[in-house]
Amino acid sequence: MGTPYVVSGEMLGHLDQLVGCEVGPTEWVVVDQVRIDAFADVAQDRHWIHNEPDPASRGPFGRPIAHAHLTLALMPRFGRDLIAFEDGEASLFYGYDRVRFPAPVPVDGRIRARGVVRDAREVGGAVQLTLEIAVEIDGADRPACVAQALWRHYPGFSR
């Protein structure tokens, strides 16, 4: 648990073999009030349901919840924890296809991610991976977020 799946140089020559590969889960990450408040400050998105524990305790979830975009902002971290490339860190986040937020993350909730490689192809000198990531909430039936994240890896690049 917590060790990324490593894509070797040999595997890059057989991208079709990566499709369907399951990766994860990652280590748990605690989403506490300090993290939620810090995200609100950076995003300039302060709302009582996230940042005011007393009113939030009387709200629909019985306590504060994390911003959906805070969960999404953790995707690059989860992606690095899920998959790595043997030839180094020459990978860039490219974007998302589908993104959904089926369940809120409660304050002090623990989340982790697992994924499935949905597509792997060459694109302009890079290897593009589409990794469908599900962010799980400890003890919850539904995930906090499900997204198809795209990474581009540039083989042979060195710093």
Compute the distance between CA of residue 69 and CA of residue 75 in angstroms, rounded to an integer: 10
What was the pLDDT predicted at 15?
Answer: 78
What was the pLDDT predicted at 6?
Answer: 74
What was the pLDDT predicted at 159?
Answer: 60
- The DSSP code sequence of 105-135 is PBTTEEEEEEEEEEEEEEETTEEEEEEEEEE
pTM above 0.75, yes or no: yes
Report, as an integer, the average pLDDT of 13-39. 92
| Domain residue ranges of the chain, discontinuous segments joined by + | 5-31+66-153
Least confident range of 80-89, 106-115, 129-138: 80-89
- CATH 3.30.70.1150 correct for 5-31+66-153: no
